[in-house]
Structure 1
């Protein structure tokens, strides 16, 4: 939690510093592509107030993110997701708005580009979030078990070496390829004492089902504790293996 706090605080400070430099020190070269524009365009943009409004947008975004920072220390499960969403909406929406202060001959193009970027970004975020928050279901078949959803797969009972039900999730050290959010961990992570592992975890919802096979270490649970226990007992019965 503290790591997330310091990462987001650093982001806030970067936005504040860049915004302050643009507004107070007229460091317009910090704005993307401003320095490469013809002198006449630079002067027209300054006259339109484009650089100053860009700086104020960054400062406003930073202040709103700063206000939202304490959410990380509350029971609210989606604090990080809300902060990321607010930041994306403010920045992308802000840059669409700033297009009205572009030089007239580039204004339409600016609207099209900024709006297209916003639509694509929101589309990608929606798909990623939808897939990431889908429940992972464990299904038992005749000779194998399957975990559904993103990063899911099918594993043979013969390959299982250990099944255990854990009251506490081991410490997750590093995300290598997956969703690492405040409320869920899904994908490949480094786990203390277990190494590279495949996680389908809702944080704070014990117990956790550990399944070790010849080539994978899997942690999975459900928000419903009884469902996780049922997975454990059914898997033990089908495979004949347990801790």
Structure 2
């Protein structure tokens, strides 16, 4: 419930910003325009910029809310919504340049293009690494879950390894990765406050549950046969 409330507050903030800029002419909220000189401001069609800025804020609020609902209740990755959001933001920012008749250097335009490219690149790389499945390496004295947010579990700390059909209701991520859908890695907290480690690739069971003296670990793969095979190797 908390994440949805938090997302709703963010959406309301964007809606309020959109209304303030487009309807109530709070142009001082527009970054860049509020630092321009009077001469520079006179060359800006601020009313058109404000109108499009308002629309952009409404679209951002809509996409954030829909993305959060879809990822929360339908376990669909939030990546398409983030890509769409970035395209809209950079698209609007580039489009609104036509209403600013102040001369801009090529370097200023290049900076905007480079920032956009870097943002997309970082996002794609982050999701690519985060979405990779973690491998289980079995050693004589330990079980190693390698990859991002991996962990080494000492044999002496392991109480039980079993196959379960479901995992408890997840509260929130404390130190880990989630694509907003099924994929979850790292440290999470359950609704009851209990700490768990997740290496989950699918929201459908079965899951390998490794109970240790300190926490429980849940692992599964998109391919059910791979989950079953990994469990048999651990037995």
Structure 1 residue 32: Cα displacement: 1.6
Q: Label 1:157 to 1:179 Cα distance change in 2 as closer, same or farther (>3 A).
A: same
TM-score, with normalisation over the residues of structure 1?
Answer: 0.79
Selected match of 1:88 from 79, 86, 89: 86
- Distance of 1:145 and 1:117 partners within structure 2: 42
Question: 1:205 corresponds to which residue?
Answer: 204
| Structure 1 partner of 2:173 | 175
Match in the other structure for 1:133: 131
RMSD over aligned Cα, in angstroms?
3.0
Structure 1 position 21 matched with structure 2 position 12: no
Q: In structure 1, what is the equivalent of residue 151 of structure 2?
A: 153
TM-score by length of 2: 0.81
Measure the CA separation in 2 of the matches of 1:4 and 1:82: 19
Give me the whole-angstrom Cα distance separating, in 2, the residues matched to 1:65 and 1:177. Answer: 22
Deviates more, 1:198-207 or 1:137-146: 137-146
- Structure 2 gap ranges (5+): none
- 2:54 paired with 1:59: no
Task: Report the Cα offset of residue 130 of structure 1.
Answer: 0.3
C-alpha contact 1:48 1:101 (8 A) present in aligned 2? no
Report the 3-state secondary structure (helix = DSSP H, G, I; strand = E; otherwise coil) of the residue aligned with 1:106: coil
Alpha-carbon distance between aligned partners in 1 of 2:59 and 2:40, rounded to the nearest angstrom: 26
**How far apart, CA to CA, are the structure 2 residues paired with 1:88 and 1:204?**
27
CA distance in 1, matches of 2:30, 2:110: 19
Name the structure 2 match of 1:41: 40
